[in-house]
Amino acid sequence: MKKFMKFAGITAILVFAMASAASAEDGKVLRVAMECGYAPYNWTQPDDSNGAVPIADSPDYAYGYDVMMAKHICEELGYELEIVKLDWDSLVPAVQSGNVDCVIAGQSITSERLEMVDFSEPYYYASIVTLVKADGEYADAKGVADLAGATCTSQLNTVWYDTCLPQIPDANILPAQESAPAMLVALDNNACDLVVTDMPTAMAACVAYPDFKLLDFTESDDDFEVSEEEINIGISMQKGNTELKEAIDSVLSKMTVDDYSEMMDEAISVQPLSE
């Protein structure tokens, strides 16, 4: 009898192992949308160097912090990863329609977005900073007040453009740019005096554009006023998809701020020098 029970136990383990293997082989494909043009969060490159992932329906590959995070989540959950390249304004509609499973694209967890999609817990915490030309009029600014009268812009539908730029006294706010690379080009071409963005984007930009200067007012008494939700970066998914949210949160809950910082530093170190 004991031999039979032992055999039965071994059989059960083998069946479970085989089922798990089959599940891994036939596992869920996680369709993750991003711009593939927003270094260091995500970008497009021509090959799979550094661990880049193929972009669906494209000969190109995607890499960056968001791809690293997507790969980590899929590895932990046993999913296959598929990267879908979309414009910034198409990301939320794609999640809402179910065309993609989630968006990992440097999105702030704002109240407005929470009305349309659900979010994971934060997978990065991005402080707000300003980029100027190192030889420009505002290079020595010590706070928001010192940016008074500046001609400025930022990316469309971001806290940078909607919330931060209006805080600059007498600012000449230009139309919003469709992408992060576009706003950086505007600054590089002297179409504006400054752009407002987050720390990782600014750090990456200073590598690509050596004549840029990063202004960080977070330790001053004259910083941009933003809520915590506006600097917490999360993964968005269709409302009510509790199974996916719980799965992703289970992975993120095991990670620390140091893990995020280390991953972001790696992304910045291997980013393309120009978009």
| The pLDDT of residue 26 | 54
pLDDT value at 143 more than 90:
yes
Which phi and psi (to 5°) does residue 26 adopt?
-100, 25
User: In whole numbers, what is the pLDDT of the chain averaged over residues?
Assistant: 90
> Which domains are delineated in the chain?
2-125+233-270 (3.40.190.10), 128-229 (3.40.190.10)
Q: 3-state class of 127 per DSSP?
A: coil
Query: How far apart are the C-alpha atoms of 144 and 151, rounded to whole Å?
Result: 13
pTM: 0.78
- Residue by residue, DSSP assigns 17-53 as HHHHHHHHHTPPEEEEEE-S-BTTTBEEESS-GGG-E
> In this structure, are residues 187 and 197 in contact, taking their beta carbons and an 8 Å threshold?
no
pLDDT value at 23 more than 60:
no
| The pLDDT of residue 231 | 84
pLDDT value at 264 more than 80:
yes
> Looking at residues 225-246, what average pLDDT do you find?
93
Query: pLDDT tens across 163-176, in order?
Result: 999 999 999 999 99
Query: pLDDT tens across 82-96, in order?
Result: 999 999 999 999 999
Query: How far apart are the C-alpha atoms of 275 and 39, rounded to whole Å?
Result: 8
